[in-house]
Every structure is written in C-alpha cells, then in structure tokens.
Amino acid sequence: MNQLTETKIITLPKFEDTRGNLSFIEEERHIPFKIERTYWIYDVPGGQMRGGHAFKEQREFIIALSGSFDVVVDDGTHKQLFSLNRSYYGLYIPCGLWRQMENFSTNSLAFVLSSTKFVESDYIRDYEKFLKYREEYEKQRI
C-alpha cells in the first residue's frame, strides 16, 4: 500500500435542476486537504501532454470542468490511468507520485485544487530523479 492506492476518484455533490446542474467542493470535507491555490489548464492543442512531474509535498484534486482528459498516475512501479470527463467528480492525488495529463479533448478545461502555494522546489521534473526518490521513500518505509 502506498500513495497510488490512496489515489482515487471522488464524486462531488450534484444538484440537478431543470435550470442546470450545480456541484461544489468544501475543503477538508469533500477533499482531504485545505485549498491553498487553484489553477486551470485550457486551450491545450491536440496531442499535447501536461504535467509529467511529481510533487514532494503538494496534494491535488483535478476536475475536468469541461471536456475530457486522462491522468496517468505512477508510483515508479505501477501506473494507473484515470479518465476524467464529468464536472461532478475529480481525481485526488496524494504527494510523491508522478502524474501526467494527456488525451485532452477540444475545449477541455482542467481545474486543479492544490494543497500548497506554488513552490518550484517541490517539483521533481526528471523521471530518473523521481525513481531514485521513490527508492529512498520505499527504503524508509521498511
């Protein structure tokens, strides 16, 4: 059991109405962290990927507010693909995992809630370094 098994789709409240639907998120209630920052990714040209890094501390919750895309989450040994295509659920990703976003549909909008402010030193952008980081992490757990 490691952070990959804690990675999960969380279904959000959804109020269906003839006027349209409404969903919402409360920090530490629907998602397991306090929200320090939000950002969004949009106008992604066909075939492009985003992400392709890991965070040492940052935890995230990613929603496809519009359109669809896939998130591949990787613990250095196993990879799991999550398809996001509804605005009433999202993917919770703990820290310490490599994650890549791909297969963006036209006009998709990825909305990300983050547990930390933007800190470049929290990123691991090199996959080889990530594998070393995972090795150290697994050693410390023994």
Does residue 51 belong to the site contacting ligand TYD (CB under 6 A)?
Answer: yes
Q: Find the part of the chain contacting ligand TYD (CB under 6 A) among 9-17, 33-41, 70-78, 128-136.
A: 33-41
What distance lies between CA 117 and its chain's CA centroid? 15
Does residue 41 belong to the site contacting ligand TYD (CB under 6 A)?
Answer: yes
Does residue 42 belong to the site contacting ligand TYD (CB under 6 A)?
Answer: no
Residues in 118-137 that interact with ligand TYD by CB under 6 A: 118
Q: What is the residue-wise DSSP string for 90-127?
A: EEEE-SS-EEEEE-PPTT-EEEEEESS---GGGEE--H
For residue 115, count CB atoms less than 10 angstroms from its CB and return exposed for 0-12, middle for 13-18, buried for 19 or more: buried
Residues in 74-93 that interact with ligand TYD by CB under 6 A: none
Contacts of 14 (CB under 8 A, 6+ apart): 21, 22, 23, 88
Q: Is 78 a catalytic residue?
A: no
Q: Looking at 53, 56, 79, 86, which residue is catalytic?
A: 53
Residues that bind ligand TYD (CB under 6 A): 37, 39, 41, 50-51, 118
Active site residues: 53
